[in-house]
Amino acid sequence: MLTAEEIGHVRSSFDMVFANASEMTSTFYDRVFELAPECRQLFPADMEVLKRDFIATLAVLVGSLDKMTGLLSSTDILGRNHARYGVRPEHYPVVGEALLWSLAKGLGPQWTEEVENAWRKVYGIIAQRMIAISAGVPPQPR
């Protein structure tokens, strides 16, 4: 599904932004709420814990790219949880664009076409699986 080269691009670029994780996650969520303000109400008022959770989970996913079984079991749990949070399939492309945007900001000149294409493919795989598994899972008000 992914080439060794694509996995390499995603891992090395992720390591670079992980060094500035707090800045990257702030840029990411700011961009989500700028592109889709209607999503803000799905999230908690205080985003600090979620920012750390998000980057830690992204690290696990990036670490599992060469182990599809592990990757898919993580995405399946995430997909079911997200359906319960009220996340819908149409939210995924917006969040994907915000993720790419925050990576581009964090990486500057290291954000090359190859790196971008590899991230697009990886996000597509994760989002597609999360969406597929979430079908029929009802939202649960918390």
Q: Which residues bind ligand HEM (CB under 6 A)?
A: 39, 42-44, 50, 53-54, 57-58, 78, 81-82, 85, 87, 91-92, 95, 126
| 39 vs 107, beta carbon nearer ligand HEM | 39
| 8 vs 54, beta carbon nearer ligand HEM | 54
Q: Report how far residue 77's alpha carbon sits from residue 85's, in angstroms, rounded to the nearest whole number.
A: 13
Say if CB 126 and CB 100 are below 8 A apart: no
Q: Report how far residue 62's alpha carbon sits from residue 110's, in angstroms, rounded to the nearest whole number.
A: 18
| 16 vs 35, beta carbon nearer ligand HEM | 35
CB of 114 to ligand HEM, least distance (A): 20
Residue type, 31: R
Residues comprising the chain, all counted:
142
CB of 75 to ligand HEM, least distance (A): 8
Which of 38, 32, 53 minimizes the C-alpha distance to 98? 32
* Token pair belonging to 132: 């597929």
Q: Report how far residue 70's alpha carbon sits from residue 119's, in angstroms, rounded to the nearest whole number.
A: 18
Cα atoms in the 13 Å half-sphere on the side-chain side of 60: 14
| 8 vs 89, beta carbon nearer ligand HEM | 89
CB of 91 to ligand HEM, least distance (A): 4
CB of 110 to ligand HEM, least distance (A): 21
CB of 29 to ligand HEM, least distance (A): 9
| 37 vs 108, beta carbon nearer ligand HEM | 37
